[in-house]
Amino acid sequence: MPLENRALGETHNIPIKSQEVHSGKVRSVYWLAQEDSRRLIETNSPLYSCNEKAQLGVMVISDRISAFDCNWQGEHGLSGVPGKGAALNAISQYWFEQLEPIAGNHLLDTPHPLVWIVQRAEPIMIEAIARQYITGSMWRGYKKGERVFGGVALPDGLEEYQRTPELLITPTTKGIMRGIPGIDETDDVNITREQIKKNYAAFGFKSPADIGVYENLLRLGFREIEGRLREIGQMFVDTKKEFGYLIDENGFFKIGYIDEVGTPDSSRIWDAAEYKNGRIIEKSKEGFRKFLLKRFGEEIFVDSKRMAERKELARTYRVPVTTMEAVSNVYTHLAEEITGKQIQHIEDPKGEIMDVLSGYGLVK
């Protein structure tokens, strides 16, 4: 089958029984009605370890590739990167399992490599970012003279790609926060811990003490993934995690990991041996970002005032198939290294998804 036909580009138009659909850059979640949620919980107990009142959703991941807040398409009708969605799900599921002793997560079941059954969480409206090396936007800020990141003052004289003296937490807003003094009403705004403390309820925390809980889970999760990646010759550079309140079997709310964790979409990962030799080999989406920066220049991607121009570029430009194939190789090879399992080629994504979900009674 041609490469372009194996990429799942659209995820919002699958006939799944639901009362609400939420679509993001690469995923769509079909939130189920209460009767379907309860039926699945009862039918699949104890696998679905959540309260009977929990709302469940069908999360479908696409093969789309997003960079600089835009989705990009390839030549010859290639709507995404074949294998990317399955690789992301496999990696994230692996890390969820490894982090289970630290905290729970929203994943309940994996009916298909592109599909999760998840528990709906009450999200904490923070993009929790942890950084161990100076690169990306942090390096751009450092070059311009910024020295304080996440409340930590860095010394002068650091170089690009250098390890920072400590793990830095540099949170941003998740979505647009309105009516909070000192915080711009746009997405992904840098915020301080003090701003979070003063407005903890607006950010979705149930108590000020839970701010420390999320920070601890971010640090512990980072160190766990970092250690395991080191065992396979990879470096964990930085990552973005999302957290939310999940309801357990007894009806208690606990903060857990949601969305995804430790994937090449949400993290930077480098080849450790090459790093020692002075070379940066990206094992994440950062390689695709660098392709765009080299092809079109940095200014269009870092200037927020050029967002409309950037979106038009993403709408009209077609990424070479060879570049999409290179991204596919990075994602699938890394997934196989991390999980120890082969990522299967999916020939008919939508057809397979419909077949498997029909067995769950979730097809319209």
DSSP letter string, 209-253: HHHHHHHHHHHHHHHHHHHHHHHTTEEEEEEEEEEEEEE-TTS-E
* Overall average pLDDT of the 221-244 stretch: 98
Establish if 256 belongs to a structural domain: yes
Asked whether residue 139 falls in the same domain as residue 107, the answer is no
* Overall average pLDDT of the 163-187 stretch: 92
Indicate whether 60 pLDDT > 50.
yes
On average, the pLDDT of the chain sits at 94
Closest-CA residue to 81 (of 340, 285, 341): 285
Question: What domain range is 180 assigned to?
Answer: 122-288
Do 41 and 48 meet the contact criterion of CB atoms below 8 Å apart?
A: yes
Site of tokens 């090449």? 264
Asked whether residue 109 falls in the same domain as residue 186, the answer is no
Do 335 and 102 meet the contact criterion of CB atoms below 8 Å apart?
A: no
Q: How confident is the model at residue 139 (pLDDT cuts 50, 70, 90)?
A: very high
* Overall average pLDDT of the 142-153 stretch: 91
Establish if 231 belongs to a structural domain: yes
| Buried-state track 328-359, b at ≥16 Cβ within 10 A, e below 16 | bebbbebbeebbeeebeebeebbebbbebbee
Asked whether residue 212 falls in the same domain as residue 330, the answer is no
* Overall average pLDDT of the 140-166 stretch: 93
Indicate whether 5 pLDDT > 60.
no
Establish if 312 belongs to a structural domain: yes
Per-residue pLDDT, 230: 97
* Overall average pLDDT of the 178-206 stretch: 93
Asked whether residue 265 falls in the same domain as residue 346, the answer is no
Give the helix ranges, DSSP H, for 108-175: 136-143
Q: What is the pTM of this model?
A: 0.94
Q: Which domain CATH number covers 165?
A: 3.30.470.20
Asked whether residue 94 falls in the same domain as residue 215, the answer is no
DSSP character at residue 306: G
The DSSP element (H or E) to which 38 belongs, if any, is helix 34-43
Per-residue pLDDT, 3: 52
Asked whether residue 212 falls in the same domain as residue 344, the answer is no
Establish if 363 belongs to a structural domain: no
Asked whether residue 110 falls in the same domain as residue 130, the answer is no
Asked whether residue 282 falls in the same domain as residue 222, the answer is yes
Asked whether residue 160 falls in the same domain as residue 273, the answer is yes
Q: How confident is the model at residue 1 (pLDDT cuts 50, 70, 90)?
A: very low
Site of tokens 């990141």? 149
Asked whether residue 194 falls in the same domain as residue 135, the answer is yes
The dihedral through the CA atoms of 303, 309, 311, 314 has a sign that is negative
* Total domains, the chain: 2
